[in-house]
Structure 1
C-alpha cells in the first residue's frame, strides 16, 4: 500500500469544524435545526434514518450550501465564503461518482482541483501523474472516465480529493453500490489516511474503531458521543421501529 499523502497541518484543534446553532431550511421547512457541535476527533461517524439530514449536514460543513440559521466554521473560516481556502481543508466524496466527475479523462479530472489551488498546468499534471503512479494506476492517466467501472470512478473521486491534501474528508455512503472486493480496497485506503474522516453510513460495523458518532433524527442531534454506546442505542431503536412498521406514516 502506498504511503499516505502528507497533510500540511494535522493539529485537530487548528482544523476543527464548529457549528453554532446551525440550521438549514428550504421554503421554511427545516432540514437541520439547532446544531451545536465542535468536531475535532480523527474518526467521526454520522448515522440516522433516511431523510434525517445527514447528506445536508455534509454539504453544510463543506460550504456547498449556506446555513439559514446559525454559523458553520472550519478552522475559523466560513466554508461557504472562503471556497479557495476550503480546498486544502475540506474534501467531500459523494455517494455517486457521476455527481462529482466533470472532466472527460482521468488526468484532467485529477489536475482540476490542483489548478484551483494555484498550480500551473505543468505542475498539476506532474502531481496527478505522480499520484496515479503511487497507486499503481499510471495507465489510467489518458483513459476516458467512461472507460472506468463504477468502483474505479469512485476511487478516482477519492484520488481527486487526496490530491488536494485536505485536513478533513467528508464521506457520504462511500461503499454504496460497490461490490465486496471494491469495498474492501476502498475501506483499506480510507483506514490508512491521516486525515479526519466524517463518514455517513447505514452500516454500524463500518464505525468500529471510530472515536465519535453523531445520531441525527429529524434534523437534530439525537445522540452524540463514544461510538459504542451511540451505535448500540441507534441499532436498538431501529430494531424497535422495524418491529412496529414505523414507515407506514406519510410525511406531510
Structure 2
C-alpha cells in the first residue's frame, strides 16, 4: 500500500528574463492511502497527474511531507521502492533501450537470472506469455505502438513489481491494442495506478482520483469521479 502524507511538490520556474524565478506548486497538501487493487487518476493536462504518479516510485521527490510504499520512504529508500513499483510511460520508446524485444526483457532479467542462455530462455518465455514471441528479434522500431507498449509492460513485469504505475498508457494506441492492454491489465495480480484521458478505459476500476490545479478534488467511485471531472471541464 502507498501512503502520501501532507505531501507537496514545488519547483522554481525561470521567468523570461532568465534572472529571476517564480515558485510554482505542482501538487499541494496530498493526504492519501492507496490500497485498492485498481486506482485511476484523471484530470486535465497540467493538473498534476503525472507528478502524482512519479511520486509513487521516487522519480519525483516531495518537497514537503512524505510518500511511503509498503513502509518504505521514497526518498530514503528510493532504490527499494523502485524495485517494488514498476512504471509504464506514455511513449514506450522512452523506456525501451535495446534493439529488440528479447534484448530488452533480458536486460530486465539480468539481476534475477545470471546465466546468459537461461536469461534468454526466460525472456522468450515472458514474450510468449504476452503473445509477442514472434516479435522477439524484430527491431523495436518496426513494431506498432501497441506492440511496443506490450513489450515495455513485459519488461517492467519481468522484475516482478508489487505495484504497476502507468502514465496515460493508451494515448498512442489504436482501438485493437487499447482493448488488448485493457485485458492484460485486468489479468494482472499487481496493484495498478493508472492515469488516463481515456475515461472508458478506467470505468471499471475500484477507485478514481480527480486532480485539478495540483489538488485532489474528488476521490471515489469511477462513475462519480468522471461526472465530477466533466463538470469541472464544462
Residue aligning to 1:99: 94
TM-score by length of 2: 0.88
Q: Which residue of 2 aligns with 1:170?
A: 165
Q: Secondary structure at the match of 2:10?
A: strand
2:112 and 2:180 mapped to 1: Cα distance? 31
Separation of aligned partners in 1, 2:42 and 2:132: 33
- 2:58 touches 2:82 (CA, 8 Å); kept in 1? no
1:137-160: CA deviation from partner (whole Å, max 9, x where unpaired): 223222221221222111110111
1:211 aligns with 2:196: no
- The 1-side partners of 2:177 and 2:205 are apart by 21
Equivalent-residue separation in structure 1 for 2:150 and 2:93 (angstroms): 12
| 8 Å CA contact 2:127, 2:151 repeated in 1 | no
Aligned-partner Cα distance in 2 for 1:87–1:64: 9
Q: Once the two structures are superposed, what CA deviation does each residue of 1:93-136 show, in whole Å capped at 9, x if it has no partner?
A: 11011111111221121122222x44314343232111112233
Could you list the structure 1 runs, at least 4 aligned residues long, displaced by more than 6 angstroms after superposition: none
Structure 2 gaps of 5+ residues are: 13-22
- The answer for the alignment partner of 2:6 in structure 1 is 21
SS at match of 1:136: coil
Structure 2 residue matching 1:207: 3-state secondary structure: coil
In the TM superposition, 1:4-15 aligns within 5 A as: none
Q: Tell me which protein shows more strand as a share of its residues.
A: 2
Distance 1:228 1:133 in 2: 36
CA contact (8 A) 1:104 1:145 kept: yes
Query: Does residue 186 in structure 1 map to residue 181 in structure 2?
Result: yes
In structure 2, C-alpha distance between the alignment counterparts of 1:66 and 1:38, rounded to whole Å: 17
User: Is residue 2:33 matched to residue 1:34?
Assistant: no
Name stretches of at least 5 consecutive residues in structure 1 with no aligned partner: 1-15, 241-252
CA distance in 2, matches of 1:198, 1:79: 16
Cα–Cα, structure 1 residues 141 and 82, in superposed 2: closer, same or farther, change >3 Å?
Answer: farther
2:62 to 38, 62, 67: 67
Displacement of 1:83 after TM fit? 4.2
Distance, in Å, in 2 between the alignment partners of 1:221 and 1:121 is 47
For the pair 1:56 / 2:51, whether they are aligned, the reply is yes
Q: Partners of 1:84 and 1:114 in 2: how far apart?
A: 17
Partner of 1:237: 232
Q: How many pairs are equivalent?
A: 223
Separation in structure 2 between the aligned mates of residue 207 and residue 144 of structure 1, nearest angstrom: 31
